[in-house]
Chain A
Amino acid sequence: MHSSAAKISLSRLAIHAVLLGAVLLYLVPLVVMLLTSFKTPEDISSGNLLSWPAVVTGIGWVKAWETVSGYFWNSIMITVPAVLISTAIGALNGYVLSMWRFRGSQLFFGLLLFGCFLPFQTVLLPASFTLGKLGLASTTGGLVLVHVVYGLAFTTLFFRNFYVSVPDALVKAARLDGAGFFTILRRIILPMSTPIIMVCLIWQFTQIWNDFLFGVVFSSGDSQPITVALNNLVNTSTGAKEYNVDMAAAMIAGLPTLLVYVVAGKYFVRGLTAGAVKG
């Protein structure tokens, strides 16, 4: 009895050790980024990744903000409308596909779902020709359009799967009472949709803020999103490398999604698993 109790507590200890070790490993890159961003370039070359800054300085952050702030605003100008529009359309689509099915709507849902897996490389060229024709090449508006179009598959999937689990009786009763399409949507469906709206908003925000492929293909110069600007900054080979600026810029690019994750992590995880497992 004694030895088995000791064995159990020893194995509990081992479990905790592994879990804690993993916590530290996952944290290392973030800690290194933060430490490096607050160092001077001299400090960076004399110390090492995890050495404490000799002098804590915000100069890296100031320089980084000067370089990327314009692109940070571009990302906001792209992300906010694209997230709102794609979520709104996704909600409407999901509502129709679960409660107002018609002949062919299931087929359409199947066709749409493939968009979750579509490798965007297969649509880049036609999309860029189209943006050119529409006069939207290299504009933030063009990027909004692209993100709305290629975000639809996921936003529709979220809402459709959520509404499918809503009892039919609720909507049927309302229809018998003479409530129409938009009345039911406004009075019954939307008030219960807060969780899935959160999931969808957060998923789309993360996807669009973090996008690089569309950004690098469909924008240039002044209309680039922050991810493209960060990549340009980090991979330019002119002049001395200022790693503190690189790391501060990376933190600036990562902070919005990190904040959302910390504040609304529950919805973030739910979106990941809903989008993933049911996809």
Chain B
Amino acid sequence: MTTATAQLRASPLDALQRWLPKLVLAPSMFIVLVGFYGYILWTFVLSFTTSTFLPTYKWAGLAQYARLFDNDRWWVASKNLLLFGGLFIAISLAIGVLLAVLLDQRIRREGFIRTIYLYPMALSMIVTGTAWKWLLNPGMGLDKLLRDWGWEGFRLDWLIDPDRVVYCLVIAAVWQASGFIMAMFLAGLRGVDPSIIRAAQIDGASLPRIYWTVVLPSLRPVFFSALMILSHIAIKSFDLVAAMTAGGPGYSSDLPAMFMYSFTFSRGQMGMGSASAILMLGAILAILVPYLYSELRSKRHA
């Protein structure tokens, strides 16, 4: 035994074998350390400089953050994110759960129906935005369609209404993501022990009641994952705004991701753009950290 190990140690080929896993992982380690964390740090540093069109490393303290908080457009973008994110998440969850529960009732052609609900997820936000921009076109889109169909007083001009344009983004985003939420919950429902439902039925509980009080509460983990994914999509939303409204009318439908892009790359406000990116990261972390914490804790308890 000891001679065998000694022999193995001696072989240079074996030394290579021992190093091989580390060697294989090394490029990715480099990428992660530099391209992820190093770049975040770099952006963090830039947010404390006076950089405008070009990066300069002149210390500005918190000046960029102060400018950001003085900027009306940033506040509009942040409030829009809360409104857009809140509605998008709530409606997607509601529709996703409802469709999943209904589809779970031994429906014929379930596979086909599921395919239809989920196809928007295969499309880019740009295609989605292009389609919905046309559908919501005041005067030519649904606006005209419903009038043609006899609803004389129908008006749908939200796309050019600064007070309502965010709802247009919500509609398009819900159309794209709700089918995915449906798929997540359906997968969860398939994992629920059917004997639980049968037992409750024998006790005389109605099916909707059983779902509401027994089945759905057991899907808490799915619910939190869905919440996590939807908020992540909301915070990163950029393409949809670009395609549908470009932030307009004015900057009434701006979102932080759009703000970051236009200040950093179009307006030559690198410092302030970086500050806004760091705040976006903060928003993601504020959601991610409690989520991961609860995930890890529940795993440890399990």
Contact = CB atoms under 8 A, between A and B. Distances in A.
Interface of A: 12, 15-16, 18-19, 22-23, 26-30, 32-33, 36, 44-45, 48-51, 89, 92-93, 95-97, 100-102, 105, 108, 111-112, 114-115, 117-127, 129, 149-150, 152, 156, 180-182, 206, 209-213, 216-217, 227, 230-231, 234-235, 243, 246-247, 249-250, 253-254, 257-258, 260-262, 265, 268-269, 272-273, 276-277, 279
B15 interface: no
B40 A50 contact: no
Given A125-B43, A272-B183, A49 B145 contact: yes
A198 B175 CA distance: 26
A26 B36 contact: no
Contacts of A231: 126, 130, 242-243
6 contacts: A16-B107, A45-B140, A123-B35, A253-B124, A258-B122, A268-B118
Contacts of B121: 272
A111 B37 CA distance: 9
Contact of B22 (A29, A51, A102, A258): A102
B123 interface: yes
B97 to A, nearest CB: 13
Contacts of B128: 29
Nearest to B46: A125
Given A276-B225, A277-B225, 19 more contacts: A19-B107, A26-B119, A26-B120, A32-B131, A108-B28, A118-B40, A119-B277, A119-B284, A121-B281, A122-B281, A125-B55, A227-B126, A227-B127, A230-B127, A254-B124, A269-B183, A272-B121, A273-B183, A277-B184
Contacts of B29: 108
Contacts of B238: 212-213
Interface stretch (B64-72, B160-168, B209-217, B258-266): B258-266
A150, A152, A231: residue with the most chain B Cβ atoms closer than 10 Å: A231
A23 B43 contact: no
Contacts, number: 248
A212 to B, nearest CB: 4
Given A19-B102, A234-B130, A122 B39 contact: yes
A261 to B, nearest CB: 4
A210 B280 contact: no
A64 B79 CA distance: 37
A102 B22 CA distance: 8
Contact of A29 (B102, B113, B135): B135
Nearest to B35: A149
Contacts of A19: 99, 102-103, 107, 113
Given A18-B102, A231-B126, A253-B127, A121 B280 contact: yes
B105 interface: yes
Nearest to B280: A119
B125 to A, nearest CB: 7
- Pairs A-B, 5 closest by C-beta atoms: A210-B124, A100-B21, A261-B122, A126-B39, A121-B277
Contacts of B31: 149, 152
A209 B123 CA distance: 9
Contacts of B131: 29-30, 32-33, 247, 250
B73 interface: no
A235 B99 contact: no
Interface string B172-208: 0001000110011001000000000000000000000
A126 B43 contact: yes
